[in-house]
């Protein structure tokens, strides 16, 4: 059983209903909230995945937490997931729903890793280049890593452009190691 495929199927179901009911923006807000909660609150994630806690108890807890925070569609959807005993998939469903939304809206999430925080002008140039090349709106997520020494790494979907100095040093080490300085007969 491919859990990822099941989560995508459930995410698509909510996405289609939200789109049909013209409540996609509410649904994305709700799924981002659930996604954030699953990633920041370990106790919540353990509770929804616990086989010891009954579905009815989980439904009561979910209602107590989300009753005024989620739209009726999303709350009903989460309760259905709980009744189907698929609650362990909730974090994955939320993640997949967010990805479906971004694809639908033409948003490409791109990760930029540098040694230092970049300026606004550099950020705008990077976003403009990526937007021109991909034809999508760019969501740029920045990260700093002092161990890179210099340069940058740019990742999106399954592509990566590594222009870091650390990468250049590693390439140079491999090239030097590949050179055979031993000459037979000396």
Q: Do 117 and 164 belong together in one domain?
A: yes
Q: Give me the pLDDT at residue 86, please.
A: 92
Q: Do 75 and 115 belong together in one domain?
A: no
CA dihedral 13, 17, 22, 28 (to 10 degrees): -30
Find the mean pLDDT for residues 143-170. Answer: 87
Question: Is 184 contained in some domain?
Answer: no
Q: Give me the pLDDT at residue 164, please.
A: 87
Q: Give me the pLDDT at residue 168, please.
A: 86
Question: Is 56 contained in some domain?
Answer: yes
Q: Do 96 and 149 belong together in one domain?
A: no
Summarised one tens digit per residue, pLDDT across range 78-113 is: 999 999 999 999 999 999 999 999 999 999 999 999
Q: Do 17 and 42 belong together in one domain?
A: yes
Is the model's pTM score more than 0.85? no
Q: Which of 47, 71, 103 is the last residue of a domain?
A: 103
Find the mean pLDDT for residues 36-51. Answer: 93
Residue with tokens 């981002």: 32
Q: Are the C-beta atoms of 69 and 21 separated by less than 8 Å?
A: no
What do you get for the CA distance between the two ends of the chain, in Å? 62
Q: Do 22 and 71 belong together in one domain?
A: yes
Q: Do 44 and 27 belong together in one domain?
A: yes
Q: Which of 36, 69, 103 is the last residue of a domain?
A: 103
Residue 45 pLDDT > 70, yes or no?
Answer: yes
Q: Do 34 and 122 belong together in one domain?
A: no
Residue 30: strand, helix, or coil: helix
Query: Among the listed ranges 42-56, 113-127, 163-177, which one has the minimum average pLDDT value?
Result: 163-177
Percent of the chain at pLDDT exceeding 90: 69
Question: Is 183 contained in some domain?
Answer: no
- The domain spanning residue 166 has which CATH number? 3.30.360
Q: Give me the pLDDT at residue 175, please.
A: 83
Q: Are the C-beta atoms of 129 and 157 separated by less than 8 Å?
A: no
Summarised one tens digit per residue, pLDDT across range 7-22 is: 999 999 999 999 999 9
Q: Do 97 and 7 belong together in one domain?
A: yes
**Whole domain around residue 85: which residue ranges?**
3-103
């Amino acid at each position: 059983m491919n859990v990822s495929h099941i989560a995508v199927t459930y995410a698509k179901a909510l996405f289609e209903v939200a789109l049909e009911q013209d409540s996609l923006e509410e649904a994305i807000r709700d799924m981002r909230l659930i996604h954030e909660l699953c990633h920041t609150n370990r106790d919540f994630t353990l509770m929804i995945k616990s086989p010891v806690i009954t579905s009815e108890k989980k439904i009561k807890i979910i209602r107590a937490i989300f009753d005024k925070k989620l739209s009726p569609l999303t709350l009903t959807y989460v309760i259905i997931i709980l009744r189907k005993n698929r609650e362990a998939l909730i974090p994955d469903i939320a993640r997949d729903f967010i990805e479906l939304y971004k694809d639908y809206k033409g948003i490409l999430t791109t990760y930029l890793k540098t040694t230092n925080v970049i300026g606004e002008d550099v950020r705008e140039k990077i976003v403009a280049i990526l937007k021109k090349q991909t034809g999508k709106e760019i969501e740029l997520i920045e990260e700093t890593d002092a161990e890179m020494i210099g340069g940058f790494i740019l990742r999106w979907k399954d592509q990566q452009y590594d222009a870091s100095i650390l990468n250049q040093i590693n390439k140079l080490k491999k090239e030097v190691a590949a050179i055979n300085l031993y000459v037979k007969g000396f």
